Chains A and B, each alone.
Chain A
Amino acid sequence: MTKAGIDLQLGFETALQNLGLGAGAAHALWMPLPMLLLIIAATLGVMVMTWLERKISAAAQQRIGPNMAGPQGVLIPIADGIKLLTKEDVLPILADPVLFTLGPILVFLPVFLCYLVVPFGQNLLISNIAIGVFFLIATSSVQPIGLLMSGYGSNNKYSLLGGLRAAAQSISYELPLALSVLAVVLMSNGLDTVGIVEQQSGLGILSWNVWRQPIGFVIFLISALAETERIPFDLPEAEEELVAGYQTEYSGMKFALFYLGSYANLLLASLIAAVLYLGGWSFVVPVETIAALAGIPLDNPFLQIGAAALGIVMTMVKAFIFIFLAILLRWTLPRVRIDQLLDLGWKFLLPVSFVNLLLTAALKLAFPTFFGG
């Protein structure tokens, strides 16, 4: 995929410049558009996920699930949103007002910042920065501070315990996560997300990283599940022990920020898994091969639009496979204990991911053709 696909930014800016605007003004007008689009897309994704969560949970328990609000209950997320927006915003009398308010924002912001580097196509991402995946890991490491802040600011023992647990958990699982990503980076010789996808796009499904990094893939999935605080790793908000952990005292819009942040985080983790291990936007068979077989030139505008649409759909399909898996796991596995959680992270996943990294480096030296020399 060396030739550029559709470049919306270039088209938009040249169109505006032809209308008589300066280059700077055209760029300034362009910049908010993809950000706005991505925020809307992420929020829509979260709404779909909450609906899916209800429906799949219901199916796992042989219930029907929401069926009154709209066909198949698809309007449930909107009802949710309206409810959360109109609820009273309670500030506990002994809570620290500054930390209590700042906490949810600090939990929510890094997740949306991470969407900057998620690619949906050759040019369909906000910013193809050179340190892509490293930016992602670094930004998501700010989240524990927000969790600690809300846990401490609530002035509630359950909140504090939940916040401390959340911070401990996300520090422990960041290491195996980063090391498994590092193994992928070793193979693609670069940190940018577009490069990682292009390195996998040669032979369609056969060249996806999941075949070359099976251990790293499993480590990534387990650590991502722990980072997003899903069952079986939802100890920070374990309802039998801690009421709701750091979320206990929150209501209304601040609770909505936590809610939105956690689902956006799950969507982000699934998208990253799709990008790192399942070839991102690439189809099972490379689009170039299909075009060559059908005899369509690659610069055909209809083909390019079709390929871009297919890329977005493929990324979302791959991501939603993981979301489905995460929701199914929620109704399959019991919650682990805190000592089991830390044991798994430090004594099993961390050594295994080190071995995986060494193995990848050794294989890269031995078979440079297969492991991206």
Chain B
Amino acid sequence: MTLGEGVQLVTFVVLSAMAIGFALGVVWAPSIVYSGFLLGGVFLSMAGLYLLLNADFVAAAQVLIYVGAVNVLILFAIMLVNRRYTFAPLKLGWLRNGVTAVVCLGLFALLTAMALNTPWQLEPIQPTSSVLVMGGHFFREYLLPFELASVLLLMALIGAIVLARREFVIPQAGEGDLSLLERARPQLESESERQAELVSTR
């Protein structure tokens, strides 16, 4: 075993252990803030595993998008809404845990079966620039999903702007409890409209 192979094996074991350990920590951590930070650890170890597979661009994109953007936003949201709730213990709470465990185990079994039954291509691939290969695929076979994803992101962006432009308005009398506390800011009236309104009320 050469130096490179030994380092690869040790790195693989360490990264896998880290990924599994952090993922368990996300689920078991007592505080949601800890879960958020541990999630970043999971993403980072996944990026390390991608690096081991020679997918350097995917690894960097994983760090940039999942750690640098998604995880930071999750933490941001957690820290802005840091309210402590006291949850009453549920009746049949164990049933919920049991169903979750069954679903997770089923998913795990499914993935294991898939991993064992797929004929993997085991011969080493000639190292080429992964950026060029991915760019080619994006604009040939996967053009439609690529464009659809961009439209989806645009929709999310517009939705976020609509939500962010709402202002807090004190509820008026006659509105039930079901109405939203927040609503869109009323449009400013122009001078002519106000004149017309005044005339009509007289």
A positions within 8 Å CB-CB of B: 24, 27-28, 99, 129-131, 134-135, 137-139, 141-142, 144-145, 148-149, 151-152, 160, 163-164, 167-168, 171, 174, 191
Q: Choose the segment among B59-67, B110-118, B145-153, B169-177 that binds chain A (4+ C-beta atoms closer than 8 Å).
A: B59-67
Q: Tell me whether B60 and A131 are in contact (CB under 8 A).
A: yes
Q: Which residues of B contact A144 (CB under 8 A)?
A: 68, 72
Q: Tell me whether A141 and B3 are in contact (CB under 8 A).
A: no
Asked whether any CB of chain A lies closer than 8 Å to the CB of B131, the reply is: yes
B1-35: CB near A (< 8 Å → 1, else 0) gives: 01100000000000000000000000000000100
The prevalent SS among residues of A at the interface is helix
Q: Tell me whether A130 and B67 are in contact (CB under 8 A).
A: no
Q: Tell me whether B79 and A164 are in contact (CB under 8 A).
A: yes
Asked whether any CB of chain A lies closer than 8 Å to the CB of B109, the reply is: no
Q: Are A148 and B56 also in contact (CB < 8 A) when A141-B63, A141-B68, A142-B63 are?
A: no
Q: Are A131 and B68 also in contact (CB < 8 A) when A145-B40, A148-B75 are?
A: no
**What is the CB-to-nearest-CB distance from B146 to chain A, in angstroms, rounded to a whole number?**
17
Q: Which residues of B contact A131 (CB under 8 A)?
A: 56-57, 60, 131
Q: Tell me whether A145 and B60 are in contact (CB under 8 A).
A: no
Q: Are A174 and B68 also in contact (CB < 8 A) when A138-B63, A164-B79, A168-B76 are?
A: yes
Q: Tell me whether B131 and A145 are in contact (CB under 8 A).
A: no
Q: Tell me whether B68 and A138 are in contact (CB under 8 A).
A: yes
Number of A-B contacts (CB under 8 A): 69
* A–B Cβ pairs within 8 angstroms, 25 of them: A27-B3, A99-B33, A130-B129, A130-B130, A131-B131, A134-B60, A134-B61, A137-B60, A138-B60, A138-B61, A138-B63, A138-B64, A138-B68, A142-B44, A142-B63, A142-B68, A145-B37, A145-B75, A152-B33, A160-B79, A164-B80, A167-B76, A171-B68, A171-B69, A174-B68
Which of B69-101 touch A at CB < 8 Å? 69, 71-73, 75-76, 79-80
Q: Which residues of B contact A135 (CB under 8 A)?
A: 56, 60
Partner of B79, one of A130, A134, A148: A148
Complex Cα gap A139–B78 (Å) = 23
Q: Which residues of A contact B56 (CB under 8 A)?
A: 129-131, 135
Q: What would 6 more interface pairs be, CB under 8 Å, given A27-B3, A131-B57, A164-B79?
A: A129-B56, A134-B60, A137-B60, A144-B72, A145-B75, A152-B33
**What is the CB-to-nearest-CB distance from A11 to chain B, in angstroms, rounded to a whole number?**
20
Q: Tell me whether A152 and B69 are in contact (CB under 8 A).
A: no
Q: Which residues of A contact B67 (CB under 8 A)?
A: 141-142, 145
Q: Which residues of B contact A141 (CB under 8 A)?
A: 63-64, 67-69
Q: Which residues of B contact A24 (CB under 8 A)?
A: 2-3
